[in-house]
A and B are shown apart, each in its own frame.
Chain A
Amino acid sequence: MHWQLLLASVVLVGGAMSMPAVGQDATVAAASECAASLTIPALTPVRLELLAPLGSKISRSGDSFPIRLAEPIVVEGVVLVREGTTGMGEVVHAKKAGGSGSAGELVLAARYLEVCGQRLRLRSMHLSSNGKSRTDTVNALNVASAASPLPVGLFGFMIHGGQVNVPQGTIAEAKTAEIFPPAATADARQVP
């Protein structure tokens, strides 16, 4: 019993001692993130995680969707933006799959990450995709219909292409659109 109490107190003391250390690390990271002593160059590659399911059937052009930084942005060995930093993306174009074999379409864009109360603008998230097109199947059916006494080609209107589905948690590559923080851009302009 005595040993158990002693062990428990050691664990408690150890935990209490180590907690501030973890907090200090976090503070250091936060300070480095917002101190702006280092800048993030434009076109720095970033890995993003999509936090909502998207698709040609469920999304609409102009919809916004949440994103999260999947890997920290590190410049000269310093973590400037931590993993998990959130932001927004936008559905640029969404079209449901339709008749005559036309496939669903989805064009997405990453817009920004919220960093130190400012928006770090993003670009170049190439996550555009199409569903499976069946227009060639429909066209082949029409050719066959020409040789047939029955109007089988009309069935082509009922053949739909495939939808595009982008599940939640999808990882996408993008780039930073500008030097960050923007104040650094102004400083850079002043330097002859």
Chain B
Amino acid sequence: MFQKLSIAAAVAVTALASPAIAQDKEAPAPIAIPAPPAGKGQIVFYRPGGMGFAVGCSVNEKGQKVSSLGAGKYFIMVTEPGRHEFSVKSEAKDTLALEVEADETQYASCKIKMGFMVGRPDIRPATEAEFRKSKLKMVDADDMGPGEGALRPEQVAAALSGAPAAATPAAAPAPVAPASPQQ
């Protein structure tokens, strides 16, 4: 009798727990990208997972590191409108120039392609749809460059919540937090 009751209780607990498990398995919430500050533009750099996870893809502009970009990571760079040229380097160097527009968000991806000794990072323009396909996490603040450029996680969180950002190495994002469609 006791055994039967125990089994029934276990089944009931399992039944109660199953919705929670199902919730855990649901797709994660889409990544929220804050709008850039008024008059500025931004670029979302990301690196889908896959081959070459051990090879770095450090994004630089004018010789200054903007941020490292590990496999499955992304970061947001707020910058002035105009032409910007970015480079990534390992065994070989690759560059990408983008036209940053005020109040708009653009996307760029880094993939590791085959090289002679190690993989070669390949940086290229991308779209928001491509960005949304990948399962990504934001780059840790420790891996971001020392100068202006990549938004720290707390700055992104502040921008999304509408709270004023703390002291910023880059310009503070606008306190509006819609999903940012490419305009």
Interface of B is mostly: strand
Q: Are B125 and A107 in contact (CB under 8 A)?
A: yes
Q: Are A157 and B114 in contact (CB under 8 A)?
A: yes
Choose from A109, A124, A130, A133 the contact partner of B183 (Cβ within 8 Å).
A124
Q: Are B114 and A105 in contact (CB under 8 A)?
A: no
Query: In this assembly, does A88 line the interface, its C-beta being within 8 Å of a C-beta of chain B?
Result: no
Q: Are B98 and A107 in contact (CB under 8 A)?
A: yes
- How many Å lie between the Cα of A171 and that of B117 in the bound state? 43
Choose from B83, B101, B113 the contact partner of A123 (Cβ within 8 Å).
B101
- How many Å lie between the Cα of A135 and that of B124 in the bound state? 13
Query: Could you say which interface size class chain B belongs to?
Result: 20 to 34
Output the nearest chain B residue to A125 by Cβ-Cβ distance: B99
Restricting to A88-128, which residues have a CB under 8 Å from any CB of B? 92-93, 95, 100-103, 105, 107, 109, 123-124, 126, 128
Number of interface residues of A (CB under 8 A): 26
Query: In this assembly, does A142 line the interface, its C-beta being within 8 Å of a C-beta of chain B?
Result: yes
Output the nearest chain B residue to A124 by Cβ-Cβ distance: B101
Query: In this assembly, does A182 line the interface, its C-beta being within 8 Å of a C-beta of chain B?
Result: no
Chain B contacts for A24, CB-based, 8 A: none
Output the nearest chain A residue to B125 by Cβ-Cβ distance: A128
With A103-B124, A139-B51 known to touch, is A109 a contact of B99 (CB < 8 Å)? Answer: yes
Output the nearest chain B residue to A105 by Cβ-Cβ distance: B124
Q: Are B101 and A93 in contact (CB under 8 A)?
A: no
Q: Are B114 and A142 in contact (CB under 8 A)?
A: yes
Given contacts A107-B125, A124-B183, A153-B114, 16 further A-B contacts (CB under 8 A): A61-B97, A92-B83, A92-B99, A100-B113, A100-B115, A101-B114, A102-B122, A105-B96, A128-B125, A130-B126, A133-B111, A136-B50, A138-B114, A139-B50, A139-B51, A139-B113
| CB-defined A-B contacts under 8 Å, sample of 18 | A93-B98, A95-B96, A100-B114, A105-B96, A107-B99, A123-B102, A124-B101, A124-B104, A128-B98, A130-B124, A133-B111, A135-B51, A135-B111, A135-B112, A138-B114, A139-B51, A142-B114, A157-B114
Interface residues of A (CB under 8 A from B): 61, 92-93, 95, 100-103, 105, 107, 109, 123-124, 126, 128-130, 133, 135-136, 138-139, 142, 153, 156-157
